[in-house]
């Protein structure tokens, strides 16, 4: 059954969905790597595709920006379409000196300044972590591909233009490797629904060195991260 934000019919979405923030990155990835591609969603221009990669069925769909947006899409995919695993393939800003442009961050966990977890009415603070099964596979493949990668914590923020200009440095001082805006909601939703989730991030800019990539580079050149996600899709 279609949902308010997804027009896919039953069976049109694979068990594993790769989820970039940018729907145009989803389009590029589907057209570049998948065979027998079918578009299953265009509601609000949040493009979704299903095809095959090396003989296995894989879906790719944009999530939009921020936790409210990815929270909607991942919840609908998990709860209405039988999706078992979502791998976020996004970009982030580096907030540690040792993390450089185009390095890959494999998010072991996600901190947040959001109140996303209030809905679960927990008597404390929920630590949002990735699926170890997917994490282990991603690390093994990153080693085999000889790419520069880091495994650790990230900060998923509600705020892009932060009034506290020292905010990122504070999270970096606690060991967070990068800042982005979606992973906490993805991990929390997966935990709530007993599903699997992982976040792979390519560093698009550095809040330490102030280097940055262009929008087109973010859309079309973060292929090492994309290939790892495609390989570990179940």
Non-local (6+) Cβ contacts of 73 within 8 A are 5, 6, 19, 46, 61, 62, 63, 64
CA atoms of 30 and 89, how far apart (whole Å): 13
Q: How many CA atoms, within 13 angstroms, populate the side-chain half-sphere of residue 130?
A: 26
Catalytic residue among 22, 146, 164, 205: 205
Q: What is the DSSP string of 164-187?
A: STTHHHHHHHTT--EEESSHHHHH
DSSP state of 146: T
CA atoms of 230 and 225, how far apart (whole Å): 9
CA atoms of 83 and 111, how far apart (whole Å): 24
CA atoms of 202 and 91, how far apart (whole Å): 5
205 counts as catalytic: yes
Catalytic positions = 205
């Amino acid at each position: 059954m279609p949902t308010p934000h997804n027009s896919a019919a039953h069976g049109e979405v694979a068990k594993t969905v790769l989820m970039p923030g940018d729907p145009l990155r989803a389009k590029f990835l589907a057209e570049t790597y998948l065979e027998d591609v079918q578009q299953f969603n265009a509601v609000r221009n949040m493009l979704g595709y299903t095809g095959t990669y090396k003989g296995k069925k894989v879906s790719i769909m944009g999530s939009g920006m921020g936790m409210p947006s990815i929270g909607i899409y991942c919840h609908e995919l998990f709860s209405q379409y039988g999706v078992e695993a979502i791998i976020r393939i996004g970009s982030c800003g580096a907030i540690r000196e040792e993390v450089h442009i185009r390095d890959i961050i494999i998010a072991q966990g996600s901190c947040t300044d959001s109140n996303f977890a209030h809905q679960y009415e927990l008597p404390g603070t929920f630590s949002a972590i990735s699926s170890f099964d997917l994490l282990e596979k991603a690390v093994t493949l990153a080693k085999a591909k000889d790419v520069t990668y880091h495994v650790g914590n990230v900060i998923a923020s509600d705020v892009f233009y932060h009034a506290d200009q020292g905010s990122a440095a504070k999270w970096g001082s606690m060991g967070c490797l990068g800042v982005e805006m979606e992973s906490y909601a993805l991990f929390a939703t997966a935990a709530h629904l007993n599903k699997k989730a992982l976040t792979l991030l390519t560093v698009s800019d550095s809040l330490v060195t102030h280097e940055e990539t262009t929008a087109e580079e973010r859309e079309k050149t973060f292929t090492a991260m994309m290939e790892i996600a495609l390989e570990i899709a179940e």
